[in-house]
Structure 1
C-alpha cells in the first residue's frame, strides 16, 4: 500500500529530516510512529501525501509513484489519502456537515463545491460518516461550538466521507484530555478494523502506541531504529528510540 524507497529529506538549513528510509506499510495495518520531537515523525508522515516534498528516493502508493505524479494523477492519488491534524483543520464558522462534505471536493468541479452543490449521495456519505463517529446529532452545529474531541471526530468523519483508503493522523490527540484521547483513538482503531483502512499515526505517548498499534515504527534523527510488532517493542527498544530510559518519564502518560 505505501512503500518508501531510499527516501531522504534535507531541509534548506541542512537538517536531515529523513535519512535513506526504506519501508513498506501494508493494506489494513494500524501503524504508530514514535520518536522525540524533531526526530522526523511528521516529516515521514507528511511525505506520504506530499505535504512535505522529499529530496531523494521515491514513495509509492498502491504501486503508483506519488513522488513523480503531477496534475490530475497527483490529485487522484491524494483523493485516497485522508489527513487528520493535531489542530483539527476545520472551518470553524461552517457547520459540521459542511466540514465533512469538504472531503468530497476532489470528486467535483471547483464551481460546484464553492456553491455547495453536493449531490444526495454525498450528503448520505457525510451523514453516515458522522454516525460512525457518534456525532450525527451535531451535523448542523457550527464547528466552533464543539469540544476538541468532537472536532477531531469531525475530521475523522471528513476522511471517511472522502472515501480514503489511507488515513494519516499527525499527533491527533496531543491537545486532548485523557478521556477524550481514548475515545478518539478507539474511533480510529474501530474504523481501521471495520473498514480495513490503512492507518498511520504519529503519537507522543508510548502507552498509547502499545495499546493501539499493530506495528510500531521508531524514528530517531531521521533514521528508522525500530520496525516491528508491539510484542517486540520492549522497554529497551523504546529507550533506544528516545535515547533515554522511560521509567517514570512523561512519555509514558496518555489516556491509559
Structure 2
C-alpha cells in the first residue's frame, strides 16, 4: 500500500497539538516502525492513517485516496486492508489469543469468520502465522 503524508497536523479541540507538519512516504511492501516517547503523536498518526481521526490540515493519501476528505464508503475497503494494534490492546479477556486475532476478520468476512471454530482453515493458518511473526 502506498502511503503519502504531507505536512500533516492534528490539533484536538482542547488545543493539544498532537502532530505538526509531519511528512513521510511509505512504498508498497516497505516495513516502517513508528517509535517515540509517550505523547509524541504515534497513536494519533495511526488513528489518522486508519481514518479514525481526521487531520486538522495536510494531506494523507493511501493508495490514491485522500483520507482527509474520504467518505465512510471510501474508507471501508482501506480499513479492511489495515491491521493496527493500539497501546491499549482492547483484547477480549475470556477468549484465546487466536480468537482475538481472528476478530480482525469480522469486518471483511462476517462474524462467523472471527470465531476459531467456524473460521476457515486459511483464516486460522494466517492468524497463526501472524502470531508466529509477532513472537519473533
Report the alpha carbon displacement of residue 24 of structure 1 after superposing the two structures with TM.
0.9
Count, aligned residues: 133
Tell me if 1:9 matches 2:6.
Answer: no
The TM-score with structure 1 as length reference comes to 0.45
Tell me if 1:128 matches 2:125.
Answer: yes
For residues 36 and 26 of structure 1, what CA distance do their matches in structure 2 show? 25
Aligned to 1:57: 58
Report the alpha carbon displacement of residue 57 of structure 1 after superposing the two structures with TM.
1.8
Give 3-state SS (helix, strand or coil) of 1:83's partner: coil
Give 3-state SS (helix, strand or coil) of 1:76's partner: helix
Structure label with greater radius of gyration: 1
Show CA shifts across 1:116-165 (max 9, x none).
367x99522332124325xxxxxxxxxxxxxxxxxxx49x8xxxxxxxxx
Aligned to 1:84: 85
Aligned to 2:35: 34
CA contact (8 A) 1:101 1:123 kept: no
Q: Which has the higher contact order (CA 8 A, sep 6+)?
A: 1
Give 3-state SS (helix, strand or coil) of 1:84's partner: coil
Aligned to 1:216: none
For residues 40 and 57 of structure 2, what CA distance do their matches in structure 1 show? 18
Query: Residues 14 and 38 from structure 1, CA distance in 2 versus in 1: closer, same or farther, beyond 3 angstroms?
Result: same
Gaps of 5+ in 1: 134-152, 157-182, 187-256
The TM-score with structure 2 as length reference comes to 0.78
Give 3-state SS (helix, strand or coil) of 1:4's partner: strand
Greater helix content: 1
Aligned to 2:21: 20
Gaps of 5+ in 2: none
Query: Residues 117 and 37 from structure 1, CA distance in 2 versus in 1: closer, same or farther, beyond 3 angstroms?
Result: closer
